Amino acid sequence: MSKKIKLSSDSTTDLGKELQEKYNVSILPMGVTLGGNLYYDGVDITPEMIYEHHDKTGELPKTNANNVEECIEFFKELTKDGSAVIHFTISSDMSSTFNNARLAAEEFEDVYVVDTRNLSTGGGLLVLAAADMINEGLEAKDIAEKLKEIAPNVDASFVIDSLEYLYKGGRCSALSVFGANLLKLKPCIAVKNGVMDVDKKYRGKYEVVLEEYIKDRLHDPDNIVPTRAFITHAGCDEAVVKKMIELVKSTGIFDEVFETRASSTVSSHCGKDTLGVLFIRKTPI
């Protein structure tokens, strides 16, 4: 008889409470240090707290990877009934969380750690793909292997209204910020090979830029897996978010389009007024 399989992830997959409950995904929250205090992502800190603190002090939080001991305790709880576990982490090129979880998994017989090579719902897409495979009856080990093949096909990108958070977090240069501000650019940040990089630079009103960006990302529907897409955002105007969701739905490409908010960990790096459309392609990015 096949083992029961449980899904879990660090708090960067940004699935939101509703999808976490629907797909029974357990979350290991990452630490966020703000104003000298340690909080846990999704537990006792919100993105709004980060924005407010930054507006008052100019200071950004520090994000903390889950250490090996935390991962061991987390896996112990999940496996105590004999279940197998598939655990998802933010890209190993962005954090030591994957390596720490991998080391912790060595203490267990059936815990498989997946390096999503991504962040936010780029990783969340892999979690839900795993849920689909569980429903198809695949074993945990086989699912983890298949996810390695799918990970390079995840199309994850965001349009950022301001580069300030990325600059302060050491992820872009002062010259890039100066140029973007001078030319009133709205850069698209895409995840490629496990790291973030500028993909395209847009110019104009943020809402108009988002429309152009979504049309660009979805211009080749024949190469897109139609199962689902995410609109994931941080601190955006609700009316703008709804308009972008309707734009994605109007393409008729996807069976489902989910809206989620960026977690405190992700928001620490991208800042307010960030929005992305994330989905899986049929071929590597």
DSSP structural state of residue 11? G
Give the residue among 199, 122, 129, 115 at the shortest CA–CA distance from 156.
Answer: 122
What six digits make up the tokens of 263? 């977690």
| 10: β partners | 28
pLDDT confidence of residue 182: 44
Look at residues 169, 133, 157, 128 and name the one whose alpha carbon lies nearest to residue 2: 133
Domain boundaries, the chain: 5-151, 154-280
User: Which strand (E) or helix (H) includes residue 268?
Assistant: helix 264-270
Q: How far is CA 197 from CA 156, 201, 208, 225, in A?
A: 11, 11, 22, 23
Please report the DSSP string for 161-219 in residue order: S-SHHHHHTTSS-HHHHHHHHHHTEEEEEEEETTEEEEEEEEES-HHHHHHHHHHHHTS
User: How long a stretch of residues is the chain?
Assistant: 285
Matching CATH number, 5-151, of 3.40.50.10170, 3.40.50.450, 3.50.50.60, 3.40.50.460: 3.40.50.10170
- Whether the domain at 5-151 and the domain at 154-280 fall into the same CATH topology: no
Residue type for position 157: S
CATH entry 3.30.1180.10 includes domain 154-280: yes
**pLDDT 10s digit of each residue in the chain, 285 long?**
578 999 999 999 999 999 999 999 999 999 999 999 999 998 999 999 988 988 899 888 888 999 999 999 999 999 999 999 999 999 999 999 999 999 999 999 999 999 999 999 999 999 999 999 999 999 999 999 999 999 999 999 999 876 665 655 554 544 444 344 544 678 888 999 998 888 888 988 999 999 999 999 999 999 999 999 999 999 899 999 999 999 999 999 999 999 999 998 888 777 788 999 999 999 998
> What's at 143, amino acid-wise?
I
In contact, 85 and 5? CB cutoff 8 Å: yes
Do residues 97 and 65 make contact, with C-beta atoms less than 8 angstroms apart? yes
Question: Shortest CA distance to 9 belongs to which of 54, 56, 38, 41?
Answer: 41
Interstrand relation of 5-10 and 25-28 (parallel, antiparallel or unpaired)? parallel
Alpha helices in 39-139 (DSSP H): 47-57, 68-79, 97-105, 121-135
Q: How many CB atoms lie within 10 A of CB 226?
A: 14
**pLDDT computed for residue 169 by the predictor:** 53
Q: Which one-letter amino acid corresponds to residue 197? A: D
- Determine phi and psi for 144, rounding to 5 degrees: -60, -40
* Strand 62-64 with 31-34, pairing: antiparallel
- Cβ within 8 Å of residue 89, ≥6 positions away: 9, 10, 12, 95, 97, 98, 101, 113, 114, 115, 116, 123
Decide: pTM greater than 0.75: yes
pLDDT at 179: 46
For residue 198, count other CB atoms closer than 10 A to its CB: 16
Quick check: helix, strand or coil at residue 138? coil
